[in-house]
Amino acid sequence: METKVQKYLECFHLPLEKLQEISARLKKDFNRGLGKHTHHRAAVKMLPTFVTATPDGTEKGDFLALDLGGTNFRVLHIRVNEDEQRVMKSQNCAIPQEMMVGTGEQLFDHIAACLGEFVNSQDLKGQTLPLGFTFSFPCEQKEIDKSILIRWTKGFNCSGVEGEDVVKLLKEAIHRRGDYDIGSVAMVNDTVGTMMSCGYKDQSCEIGMIIGTGTNACYMEELKNVKRVEGMEVKEGENRRMCINTEWGGFGDDGALKDILTEYDEEVDRTSINPGIHTFEKMISGMYLGEIVRLVLVKLTQEKLLFNGETSKALLTPGTFETRFISEIEKEDKGVENTKKILADLGLTSNAVDLHIVRLICDTISSRSARLCAAALATIVNRIRVNRKLDHLKTTVGVDGAVYRKHPNFSEELQDMVRRLAPQCDINFIVSEDGSGKGAAMVTAVAQRLALQSRLLEDSDGEDDDDEEEEDN
């Protein structure tokens, strides 16, 4: 029986050589995404973030953070000093359904009102604090404080926002109120926030990775390789960098992963809300893993290799096998007990062999996800090492996302495989604490530090010029 099952699962197995091949394809896509003339048609978008440094430990001060990514948004007051990033206070604010499809002005007026109430309640009125703004919708970032909304997702469809700078819209809404003000604004992608929140604890953290409902990664790229950004020339010998938001979930949208897509992946894509888009993400992330397992269970039941060939209404209904079930089934101590309960709740009658096969299916699907993530991460760490002409790279990855955090074996398998794929890299992993809150504050804190250093440098250059003039006189 198990041999027959294994044959059905062979399509998910990815040996080391195949993963090396996938990593090589992604490397080409990275170059395409960074290229001046090729980025428009690249599947992996490689978006510039205009974050040009990671924390160095000297950042300090009080910051506001605004995290908008769904039907609720958070406002936070964060204090940064040499020892810690502390959330002094945070508040959740709801966005009414009608406001999600109303005008942009209504939405940003509501955000400005909630932010105003928070500033008032924290006795921060009169202070002009810098703000980190995590806005989790597809945007084209032009500068650290200028980000154009490409399109709304997640049920939002506010008029007058697509194609506009969301920082400008927020500032205009605050000015309409006139009862408080904010300082400089830094736009933050949640992956970048993950890297920056971890970078405060470990200054060798130059990569951020999320494996949750979706998947994405960012890393510090040499600025001279970011050909698509105009007006940021790098002088010979300068080591300037910029954080790149890879948007690696789109890897394979041009057919680059066709040879490893299974019939189950194709069905998940076909029935998704965005067919043909985010191919890589659909093989890896929490939004889709449960559905892949469900489709395999249906197939093996129809082939009479599971549950005596008897399906149930629940099993035949898309979305009923949740991704969290995979983690519960694969738990070392309570796995069998959990599996029995999950299958019973789905209206399925199981025996000991069924329980073993269901666990095997879950293990196969989650293992493929971890190995694909490892191949993508290895592409980044190998790239950084080669960029810097190093024989050996020591670096840290800041990670977040429920799949990485909650699955019992995922992180271990990913780490083991990435070390095999990048043997000349010594990689440490840190789980992020509140990337969209603390991380947003850190992006703002670093931008403030760099601006201050730049001003001090300009002042000192000005003094030198004055001294030269005096000598000439």
Query: DSSP states of 343-364 as a string?
Result: HHHTT----HHHHHHHHHHHHH
CA distance 406 to 402: 5
Cα 384 from Cα 53, distance rounded (Å): 15
Quote the mean pLDDT of the chain. Answer: 92
Phi, psi (degrees; rounded to nearest 5) at 425 = -125, 135
Instruction: Identify the pLDDT of residue 94.
Output: 92
User: Is 60 exceeded by the pLDDT of residue 466?
Assistant: no
For the chain, domain boundaries = 1-46+246-431, 50-188+433-447
The percent of residues in the chain predicted with pLDDT above 70, rounded, is 94
Cβ contact 251:27 at 8 Å:
no
- What number is the average pLDDT over the span 260-284? 94
Residue 465 pLDDT exceeds 70:
no
Classify 3 as helix, strand or coil.
Answer: helix
pLDDT tens digits along 321-370: 999 999 999 999 999 999 999 999 999 999 999 999 999 999 999 999 99
DSSP-assigned beta bridge partners for residue 244: 48, 219
| Percent of the chain residues past pLDDT 90, beyond the cut | 78
Assess whether pLDDT exceeds 90 at residue 235. Answer: no
- Residue 440 is given by DSSP the state H
The reported pLDDT for the residue numbered 347 is: 97
pLDDT confidence bin for 314, thresholds 50/70/90: very high
Q: Residue 69 gets which letter from DSSP?
A: S
> What pLDDT is recorded for position 459?
64
Q: What pTM was estimated for this model as a whole?
A: 0.89
Average pLDDT over residues 375-397: 97
Mean pLDDT of 35-49: 93
Find the Cα–Cα–Cα–Cα dihedral 354, 356, 360, 362, rounded to 10°.
70
Average pLDDT of 437-457? Answer: 85
pLDDT in tens, 50-95: 999 999 888 889 999 999 877 788 999 999 987 788 889 999 999 9
Q: What is the pLDDT of residue 464?
A: 53
Is the domain covering 1-46+246-431 a CATH 3.40.367.20 domain? yes
Question: Is residue 469 pLDDT above 60, yes or no?
Answer: no
**The pLDDT of residue 146:** 94
Short-list 345, 353, 357, 300, CA closest to 321: 345
Cα(400)–Cα(398) distance, integer angstroms: 7
Is residue 400 pLDDT above 70, yes or no?
yes
- Give the relative orientation of helices 352-387 and 16-34 as an angle to the nearest 10 degrees: 50
Q: Please answer whether residues 330 and 408 qualify as being in contact, where contact means their C-beta atoms are separated by less than 8 angstroms.
A: yes
What are the pLDDT digits (tens) for 177-224?
Answer: 999 999 999 999 889 999 999 998 899 999 999 999 889 999 999 999
In this prediction, residue 294 carries a pLDDT of: 98
Per-residue DSSP letter, 162: T
Query: Which tops the pLDDT comparison, 23 or 452?
Result: 23
Dump pLDDT digits (tens) for 251-264: 999 999 999 999 99
Average pLDDT over residues 14-19: 97
What residues act catalytically?
Answer: 154, 190
Whether 29 and 44 have beta carbons less than 8 Å apart is answered as yes
- Above 80 in pLDDT, residue 26? yes
Using CA atoms, how far residue 376 sits from 19, 63, 76, in Å, is 9, 34, 33
- Rounded to the nearest 10 degrees, what angle do helices 263-270 and 289-302 cross at? 120
Q: State how far the alpha carbon of 295 is from the alpha carbons of 123, 266, 319, in Å.
A: 54, 11, 10
Give the total residue count for the chain: 473
The fold of 50-188+433-447 is Nucleotidyltransferase; domain 5 (3.30.420)
Largest CA distance in the chain: 100
Q: What residues contact residue 395 under an 8 Å CB cut-off, 6+ apart?
A: 204, 205, 206, 207, 381, 384, 425, 426, 427, 428
